[in-house]
Amino acid sequence: AQSVAQPEDQVNVAEGNPLTVKCTYSVSGNPYLFWYVQYPNRGLQFLLKYITGDNLVKGSYGFEAEFNKSQTSFHLKKPSALVSDSALYFCAVREAGSSNTGKLIFGQGTTLQVKP
Amino acid sequence: EAGVAQSPRYKIIEKRQSVAFWCNPISGHATLYWYQQILGQGPKLLIQFQNNGVVDDSQLPKDRFSAERLKGVDSTLKIQPAKLEDSAVYLCATTGTGVSYEQYFGPGTRLTVT
């Protein structure tokens, strides 16, 4: 069965410092991986995805993520955090392949708090 | 392009009452998903439509939840009768027909069952 783990409920960083939000996944085949961000009282907003190719993917608002197949991880990173990055972040996975319905499996979310 | 629209944004009902949520997808998006997001958890898929057909409803509590997507555009999700544990945010998401894979989410409907 597919699953996603986000081991940290909350990550605290100071503005200007680099940030990392961790994600590990489990699928039986090749994964498609996603990061979404959720601001209060808003829906989920797509940040970036890994489908195939370069393991380092770049997304919106300066975020990037590195796909590591051997460690089954897809950590979200940003070189310099902003206070406005404070939000709830979700990692999600779906299994590649034509038989897959496209259903996303989400982690439980990590709250990012960036302090001035 | 306009995003995914949902209404109402908030709803408070008593247990055993019924409630309905509405979703209008991005124009041309054939695949539509309904997710339930309980506080402190990630979204969980309830049902997926491809045009007006159901692709996956394995996680839908069919004794009380129902959903339809008439004409392959708008969709409604209904709960009857509601239970306290149905309190959650109900998110609608859609995907285009290309190979973009990402899902586009609406703002959600926050349901409180008292």
Q: Tell me which chain B residues have a C-beta less than 8 angstroms from the C-beta of A36.
A: 105
Q: Closest chain B residue to A111 measured between Cα atoms?
A: B40
For residue B100, the model assigns a pLDDT of: 62
Cβ distance B37 to B43 under 8 Å? yes
Q: Does the beta carbon of A109 lie under 8 angstroms from any beta carbon of chain B?
A: yes
SS3 call for B72: helix
Assigned token pair, B31: 């695949």
Say if residue B19's pLDDT is above 90: yes
Average predicted confidence (pLDDT) for chain B: 92
Share of chain B above pLDDT 90, in %: 77
**Is A49 in contact with B102 (Cβ distance < 8 A)?**
yes
Q: Does the beta carbon of A96 lie under 8 angstroms from any beta carbon of chain B?
A: no
Among the listed residues A80, A91, A98, the one whose alpha carbon sits nearest the alpha carbon of residue A36 = A91
Say if residue A100's pLDDT is above 60: no
Task: Please list the residues that pair with A56 across neighbouring strands.
Answer: A66
For residue B112, the model assigns a pLDDT of: 98
Cβ distance A33 to A53 under 8 Å? no
Query: How far off is chain B from A100, nearest CA to CA, in Å?
Result: 10
For residue B99, the model assigns a pLDDT of: 59
Q: Per-residue pLDDT tens for B40-54?
A: 899 999 999 988 899
For residue A28, the model assigns a pLDDT of: 83
Query: How far off is chain A from B60, nearest CA to CA, in Å?
Result: 14
Nearest by CB: B42 against A32, A51, A107: A107
Query: How far off is chain B from A106, nearest CA to CA, in Å?
Result: 5
Q: Per-residue pLDDT tens for A36-47?
A: 999 987 889 999
For residue A34, the model assigns a pLDDT of: 95
Say if residue A102's pLDDT is above 90: no
For residue A97, the model assigns a pLDDT of: 63
Residues B75 and B78: their CA atoms lie apart, in Å, by 10
